[in-house]
Amino acid sequence: MNSIEVSNLTKKFGSFTSVNDISFSVGKGEIFGFLGANGAGKSTTIKMLCGILEPTSGDAMVSGFSISKDPESVKRNIGYMSQKFSLYGDLTVNENLNFFGGIYGLKNERLKERKSWALKISGLENKENTLTSTLSVGYKQRLALGAAVMHEPKIVFLDEPTGGVDPISRRKFWDLIHDISESGTTVFVTTHYLDEAEFCNRIILINAGILIASGSPAELKKEYIDNTVLEITCRETFAVIEKLIPEDFTQSVSAFGNSIHLILKSKFSPQDEELKIIKERIRKLTGDIGEVKIEIIVPSLEDVFLNLLEKRE
């Protein structure tokens, strides 16, 4: 049985359609990435799946309960953690865990046991009596996750959980997400960081309320970018991009920091004569701007999404 089963979910605010007829399912124990730009309808979808916002039409079953008919049961069976740190800063670590554990009905031995588990995973053993507001962001984030899954929900929703966290803490946080998913909890996560999306088992991408792609990271790359991708490292990247756009070999082109990712119109093996010709043409195009490095690369999810979103526009 799937953990989450979304069918034709739609939410309208007046005449504005925030989420437009999306359907997908999430398997048990999966790490499921939910991606989209700001305002694409991510938060609205999460709110509906958590049972706090009623859909205009369509429905979803979350851990076996209908979000429109039985939102209270949904709430009891999920955990939720948002980007905003949502524990009480003026309570100690222990008091926060007591409070949130208690709300989900944990008590006595079980509460004690789950509390020590939460402390362990957040690395806050022996810091139970620290005021939560004094913890560093990385610790706070892990504690919040610990509090969100303390009651062992079947599904945990993480809404941009790593916003504003340094790379090392982000990595530790994702290790934790893996541990949680391995213990059988489904993780539904939204993120802005596409490198994080690579850690997900499956991903969907929504844009303007419409689902535009879904699959595992590898599938997505294969399905949407089967063609060769070149990375061109040079100076004056933006001028070069302008010159590349009108060329007949260009499918799409975008800037990645100091380099350019150019998706070609077909797939070439590295030894292909045609590819060599294209490389030459690029070198000619760029003209007299110093060193130009051209390499074939494996496309990243970012290539996939930029490509997908560009196609839409």
Partner 1 sequence: MNIIKLFISKEFRQFLRDPKMFVVVLIAPVIQLIFLGYAANRDLNFVNTAVYDMDKSGKSRELIRDLEGSGFFKIENIANNYNEVESDLDNAKVLCGIVIPDDFEKKLLSKRTADIQIIFDGSDGNKASIASGYIANILESFSKDVSIAIVDRSGIKISFTGNVTPETRVWYNPNLTTRNFMLPSIVGLILIIITINLTSLAIVKEREVGTLEQLIVTPIRPYQMIIGKLVPFSIMGFVAIILVLSVMRFWFGIEVKGSLGFLFLSSFFFMLSTLGLGLFVSTISRTQQQAMITSAFLVIMPMIFLSGFSFPIESMPQAIQYITYLVPLRYFIIIIRGIVLKGLGFADLWQEVAVLFMMGVFIMLISSLRFKKNLE
Instruction: Give the H/E segment covering residue 210.
Output: strand 210-215
Torsion sign (Cα): 44, 196, 27, 122: negative
Which candidate, 267, 274, 271, 276, places its Cα nearest to that of 294?
A: 276
What is the DSSP pairing of strand 155-159 with strand 65-66? unpaired
193 binds partner 1 (CB under 8 A): no
The number of residues that bind partner 1 (CB under 8 A) is: 30
Q: Which of 10, 12, 37, 76 binds partner 1 (CB under 8 A)?
A: 76
Determine if 80 is a binding residue for partner 1 (CB under 8 A): yes
The correct pick among 7, 13, 69, 89 for binding partner 1 (CB under 8 A) is 89
Q: Which is nearer to partner 1, 105 or 167 (CB)?
A: 105
Output 11 or 221, the one with its CB closest to partner 1.
Answer: 11
Which amino acid does the sequence have at 255?
A: A
Amino acid at site 276: K
Rule CB under 8 A: say whether 68 interacts with partner 1: no
**66 near partner 1, rule: CB under 8 A:** no
- Regarding 110 and contact with partner 1 (CB under 8 A), the answer is no
The minimum distance between CB 281 and partner 1, in angstroms, equals 53
The pairing of strands 210-215 and 202-207 is antiparallel
Give the nearest distance from C-beta 165 to partner 1 in angstroms.
15
Residues near 241 by beta carbon (within 8 Å), at least 6 away in sequence? 253, 254, 255, 260
| Mask for 115-144, x = binds partner 1 (CB under 8 A) | ----------------x-------------
Q: Pull the structure tokens for residue 122.
A: 């957040």
Q: How far is the CB of 78 from partner 1 (least distance, A)?
A: 7
Cβ 137 to partner 1 shortest distance, Å: 14
Q: Which of 13, 57, 69, 99 binds partner 1 (CB under 8 A)?
A: 99
DSSP annotation string for 60-102: EEETTEETTT-HHHHHHTEEEEESS--S-TTSBHHHHHHHHHH
Binder to partner 1 among 32, 65, 100, 174 (CB under 8 A)? 100
Q: Round to whole Å and give the CA distance between 229 and 263.
A: 5
Looking at residues 143 to 182 of the shown chain, list those that interact with partner 1 (rule: CB under 8 A).
157
Distance of CA 266 to the CA centre of its chain: 29
Confirm or reject binding of residue 53 to partner 1 (CB under 8 A): yes
Q: Are 74 and 155 in contact (CB under 8 A)?
A: no
Residues that bind partner 1 (CB under 8 A): 50-54, 72, 75-76, 78, 80-82, 84-91, 95, 98-100, 102-105, 131, 157
